Amino acid sequence: MSIDDYGGGPGPEAGVLVVTTNDVPGHRVQEVIGEVFGLTVRSRHLGSQIGAGLKSMIGGELKGLTKTLVQTRNQAMERLIEQARARGANAVLMMRFDVTDASDVGTEVCAYGTAVVLAKE
């Protein structure tokens, strides 16, 4: 697996800085826009479920499920950034992920945070 298969997050080309911290060194919050989120629900395909079931008997990483979760988190993050940009933000502070089962049919992933306008000090 390459780093793109198990990592993610927005690059600088996104135009919206996303951080898990309350502030950004060298910047001040000029305006708080409010909460933004990106949400997606994904189901697992039959092949990955069977493979995961077999792998769970002998142990080890469930690479197919890892890849699916990374893709799902990245999609939720993209939607978060789209919403922040549409509301006039150039940053999202205190970004978090929330992951839950969606009625045994899939996994719900929500990326959320506070949209702000940052200005350099």
Q: What is the domain partition of the chain in residue ranges? A: 3-120
At the fourth CATH level, the homologous superfamily of domain 3-120 is: Hypothetical protein apc22750. Chain B (3.30.110.70)
Q: What is the pLDDT of residues 55-81, one digit of tens each?
A: 566 667 777 777 888 888 999 999 999
Q: Which residue has the tokens 């469930």?
A: 62
Q: What is the pLDDT of residues 7-50, one digit of tens each?
A: 777 777 778 999 999 999 999 999 999 999 999 988 765 555 55
